[in-house]
Structure 1
């Protein structure tokens, strides 16, 4: 595979999943670890990604306040607008982090009166702009890669919450494998968020459909709403039409 083809592949993985691991790229591309490290360094030097220990992060994943760097921003805004009717006054809502959730928060009604628990400092900052929204940031260890708090202390706090709705972005979703991720700590965190909520909504750009990563978070049966930028009747969504899942 030519270097440009490798670079294109890496950037697609970055844009879809927000981060990549060097070890995964070595297996997927069947090249040496040194080759991947050089590729990531070159892409970082070009300003296309942020190189971190063990892999790389999307630039948009770290630049939450710079709209110009958000991948598929128009699709995420459409997803956010479709999600708004699920959020009602008086609700207790639990959110993850990521650019899809940030775009959702920006679309909230100005007079919304609700309580939000979040594991993302960036989401908390956006929520703080709403005068009638109570914002509770769940503290703990901070993941430099995922930009959220994590760990046993965070999970213990989550399990004390009884939220009406959990809002999560996703790295990958698949009809058979369900919701998946790559990071063990973040995986446990998301599972706790599901357990702490009456209903769960997954915000997902269509490019992430039919993709699967190493660690399972939840099956489709555990998800109440799947929200993409596609028309809910789109053929691409047919494999996700299970009894308990509403597609928006």
Structure 2
């Protein structure tokens, strides 16, 4: 495979998942670790990515206050509008983080009555400045990759919460592997978020369906709702509809 082709695939993976691991790229591209490291170094030199230990990050995801654009923003806005229909006065809501969750935060009704728990400082700020709903940030160690709070303190706080509905974004979702991630601390927080809510809704652009990472958050049958940019009757969602409600 030519270098130009490898770079194109690497950028596509980073754009879709926000982060890539060098070992995963070795398997995907069928090249050595040294080759991947050289490719990442060149892409960073060109200003296209941020190289980190063991992989690389998308520049826009790593610098949320300087984002010139959000990947698939139109699709994420559509998903957020669908998700909003599940929220009603008096509910206690839990959320993870990510750009798709920020789109939801931007359209929370200003007069909403209820409680909004989140592990994302960015989501907390968006909701607090736009709505009178009670906002509670579950604080802990701030992840430099995802900008969510992680660690034992967050897991402990979540164990005391019994929310009506939890909204989660995802880096990968498939029928076989369920909801998966690449970061251990993020996985632990997401597992706790799921345990702390009566219902769980995953928000995902359709490009992430049938993709996977190495760490499992939960199986597909642990989800109550799947919210995508596709029409609920789309054939790509047919098998998912057997285990959760498609919105």
How does the TM-score come out when normalised to structure 1?
A: 0.94
Are the equivalent residues in 2 in contact too, given 1:140–1:150 (CA < 8 A)?
yes
Query: Match for residue 97 of structure 2?
Result: 97
Are the equivalent residues in 2 in contact too, given 1:60–1:99 (CA < 8 A)?
no
Query: Match for residue 8 of structure 2?
Result: 8
Are the equivalent residues in 2 in contact too, given 1:64–1:102 (CA < 8 A)?
no
Are the equivalent residues in 1 in contact too, given 2:20–2:56 (CA < 8 A)?
yes
Distance 2:112 2:46 in 1: 42
Q: List structure 1 segments (4+ residues) > 6 angstroms apart after TM superposition.
A: none
Alignment of 1:131-142 (within 5 A): 131-142=131-142
C-alpha change, 1:131 and 1:234, in structure 2 (3 Å) is closer
CA displacement at 1:28 relative to structure 2: 2.3
Query: Match for residue 34 of structure 1?
Result: 34
Query: Match for residue 240 of structure 1?
Result: 240
Gaps (5+ residues) in structure 1? none
Alignment of 1:74-93 (within 5 A): 74-93=74-93
Distance 2:28 2:131 in 1: 47
CA displacement at 1:114 relative to structure 2: 2.3
CA displacement at 1:16 relative to structure 2: 1.8
Distance 1:22 1:217 in 2: 21
Gaps (5+ residues) in structure 2? none
Distance 1:87 1:144 in 2: 30
Alignment of 1:1-248 (within 5 A): 1-66=1-66, 68-243=68-243, 245-248=244-247
How does the TM-score come out when normalised to structure 2?
A: 0.94
Instruction: Between 149-158 and 193-202, report the one with greater CA deviation.
Output: 149-158
Distance 1:189 1:161 in 2: 13
Distance 1:120 1:153 in 2: 14
Q: Secondary structure at the match of 2:166?
A: strand
C-alpha change, 1:37 and 1:235, in structure 2 (3 Å) is same
Distance 1:120 1:189 in 2: 11
CA displacement at 1:172 relative to structure 2: 0.7
Distance 1:90 1:39 in 2: 51
Q: Secondary structure at the match of 2:173?
A: strand
CA displacement at 1:42 relative to structure 2: 2.2
Are the equivalent residues in 1 in contact too, given 2:110–2:133 (CA < 8 A)?
no
Are the equivalent residues in 2 in contact too, given 1:128–1:135 (CA < 8 A)?
yes
Deviations 1:7-46 (A, max 9, x none): 1111121122111112221232232323222222222233
- Count matched residues: 247
Instruction: Between 126-135 and 65-74, report the one with greater CA deviation.
Output: 65-74
* Backbone CA RMSD of aligned residues: 1.5
